[in-house]
Amino acid sequence: MPTIPAYERDPRRRTLRTEVVSVGEEDGHPFVVLADTVFYPGGGGQPADRGSVSGVAVVDVRKADQEIRHLLAGPPPTGTVTVELDWTRRFDHMQQHTGQHLLTAVADGSFGWPTTSFHLGEHVCDIELDTSTADARRLTELEDAVADEIRAARPVTARRVRPAELETLPVRTRGLPDGHTGDVRLVEIEGVDLNTCGGTHCRSTSEIEALKLLGTESVRGGTRLFWVAGTRLRRLLGSHHRRSERLHDLLGTSDEDLVDRLSAKLEQLKEAERARRRLEEELADTSAAALVGGGGRVLVRHWPARDLPFLQRVAREACRLAPDRVVLLTAGEGEDGPFVLAAGDAAQLDVAATGRRLADLLEGRGGGSGRIFQGKAQRLSRREEAKVLLGSGSTDS
């Protein structure tokens, strides 16, 4: 491979004819090593490129043992191959990475907030700033300052320098990789930043298009700042706009009143849920009274459309009203559903042991303590057998 690969010589190149140097396998994927490549192998916070090698999809690109491995989705080609880059993905990474350089440089140079780490995510990017004072007003000022530099269309260039020259330059760096030897690659935003970096970048800050700060969170005494740039920003705005239009249709209101209308609707739903719970509690208590009034030592009842909390309340109330009774309650429209076995304080029943036998009979599982055992059944059609297990005198109201 040339000393400087094609992805660094010309980051905008999308295709390449080259030769397969070797093949191998890594992490269950075949890989090829090429004589030259337009694929960035990932590193320095920038994800690896995607694309294809003679029509075979590239699933990852990694640098290992001084070679660049192109992990493939299928059998590796040999001989002369055509490499095609996923340019949409690459240009997105160029916008985000150049945006990160600019954001970091402005945050440090104009606000005294150095970047301690950054992450170019699939949808949203973030940097960690060594500050705890990044309030809303100052962040607006930072975003405006970055926008000024984007509009200035400052050239972005890359070059390599010898280590001795590096020491004489005002370079922003967090240090070189362990074991690095030879020349050092620098990326410069004219008049703003000079940084050690091996990634691919835009030709000008204008190609970033725009950069929007999305929010912050406190982390390790500093501030994690979320942001998005370029095409991602336009797509994010489009997504939010489509979502807002849908909410407008559902709620029948404008942008200005959307939050207030939604808040009112949510409060109505909460009140409706509170009313529903009150009615269900009343129904459970009424059902318990009716169940106890039916007579019999063992009381059995099934509901097609109730849940475990409903059964629990009926069981507790029934045992309170009739301490000498045993209660078996089930729910569900098919074979699956919850069950509750309970016994009043005066009832003669080992609830835990009987509950385990009942769970086996219903092909389910469960547990409990004291005077109640509950679980999930898989064969509710065996309720008649469950009555026999619990003894005579049962009623199924």
User: What is the structure's pLDDT at 254?
Assistant: 86
Q: How far apart are CA 327 and CA 342, in angstroms?
A: 5
What are the two backbone dihedrals, phi and then psi, of residue 231, each rounded to the nearest 5 degrees?
Answer: -60, -35
The SS3 assignment for 117 reads: strand
Please, which pLDDT band fits residue 31 given cuts at 50, 70 and 90? very high
Residues above pLDDT 70, as percent of the chain: 96
* CA atoms in the 13 A half-sphere facing the CB of 175: 5
Query: By C-alpha distance, which of 109, 227, 208, 213 is closest to 150?
Result: 208
pLDDT of residue 175: 65
Quick one: how many helices (H) and strands (E) in the chain? Answer: 9, 19
Q: Grade residue 44 by pLDDT with cuts at 50, 70 and 90.
A: confident
pLDDT digits (tens, 9 = 90+) for 220-257: 889 999 999 999 999 999 999 999 999 888 888 888 88
pLDDT band at 88 (very low <50, low <70, confident <90, very high): very high
Residue 343 has pLDDT above 90, yes or no: yes
Say if CB 201 and CB 101 are below 8 A apart.
Answer: yes
Handedness of CA 320, 322, 323, 327 (dihedral sign): negative
pLDDT of residue 368: 87
Tell me: pLDDT of 396 over 60: no
- Averaged pLDDT, 259-280: 94
State which H helix or E strand residue 366 sits in: strand 365-369
pLDDT in tens, 292-301: 998 788 999 9
Backbone angles phi, psi at 57, to 5 degrees: -65, 140
User: In the prediction, which pLDDT does 176 show?
Assistant: 67
Q: Give mean pLDDT, residues 69-82.
A: 96
> Closest Cα to residue 98, out of 184, 196, 208?
208
Full-prediction pTM beyond 0.85? no
Tokens of 111: 């606000």
Q: Where are the alpha helices (DSSP H) in the chain?
A: 6-9, 87-111, 136-151, 163-166, 230-251, 258-293, 308-321, 351-361, 383-390
What's the pLDDT tens digit per position in 306-342? 999 999 999 999 999 999 999 999 999 999 999 999 9
